[in-house]
Amino acid sequence: MKRNKRERQELLVETIKETPFITDEELAEKFSVSVQTIRLDRLELSIPELRERIKNVAKQSLEDEVKALPIEEVIGEIIDMELDSSAISIFEVKEEHVFKRNGIARGHHLFAQANSLAVALINDELALTAKANIHFTRSVKLGERIIAKAKVKHIDSMTGRTTVEVNSYVNTELVFKGEFDMYRAKR
């Protein structure tokens, strides 16, 4: 259904408020317009691009919260975190992350996103990966967006170990899963 500019822009503002991490491409498809039209609408409405929206949300809520490593050392952009419980990060696969001959992301980038998210999730000044059991379920390609979801499965206060499960997705498809045995200072 075609909408006039004013209606489209009102719905655009509402949509981005409800789903701040929606891409311009997804918005263009939703409103049956070009990506350029969405970008012009955002510019006119002073709505930042996706990357800036993610950074703003992450900085507001996480700067003082993450203890185990500086937030800028986390691979990907943390968009949600509850220490010792769960966290989510987004990683955009760019040219520098892929093999040039086939455009497939190098596995260490997926691992680094998951591992650094597991470290950041620990509510302690010291968190180290003691062991990781990982599985890549499909190749990730240039231009795809990986959403990693970490969840604390178990905290052993006697040994100072925490088990963190991380599942990474492109859209709704699982591309990586890992279980990280994290060492932390005893409480």
What is the predicted pLDDT for the residue at 186? 61
Residue 164 has pLDDT above 60, yes or no: yes
CATH 3.40.50.300 fits 67-184, yes or no: no
Rounded to the nearest 10 degrees, how much is the dihedral formed by the CA atoms of 62, 90, 133, 151?
50
What number is the average pLDDT over the span 112-138? 93
- 57-75 pLDDT, tens digit each: 656 555 556 776 776 788 9
Whose CA is closest to 56, among 67, 68, 46? 46
- Which strand (E) or helix (H) includes residue 108? helix 107-121
What is the predicted pLDDT for the residue at 85? 93
Long-range contacts (CB closer than 8 Å, 24 or more residues apart) made by 68-74? 68/119, 68/120, 68/121, 68/122, 68/124, 68/125, 68/126, 68/127, 68/184, 69/116, 69/119, 69/120, 69/127, 71/120, 73/116, 74/116, 74/117, 74/119, 74/120
Q: What is the topology classification, in CATH, of domain 5-59?
A: Arc Repressor Mutant, subunit A (1.10.10)
Q: Where in the chain is the domain with CATH 1.10.10.10?
A: 5-59
pTM metric for this prediction: 0.67
The dihedral of CA 67, 19, 32, 140: what is its sign?
positive
Average pLDDT value over all residues in the chain: 89
Q: Where in the chain is the domain with CATH 3.10.129.10?
A: 67-184
Residue 176 has pLDDT above 90, yes or no: yes
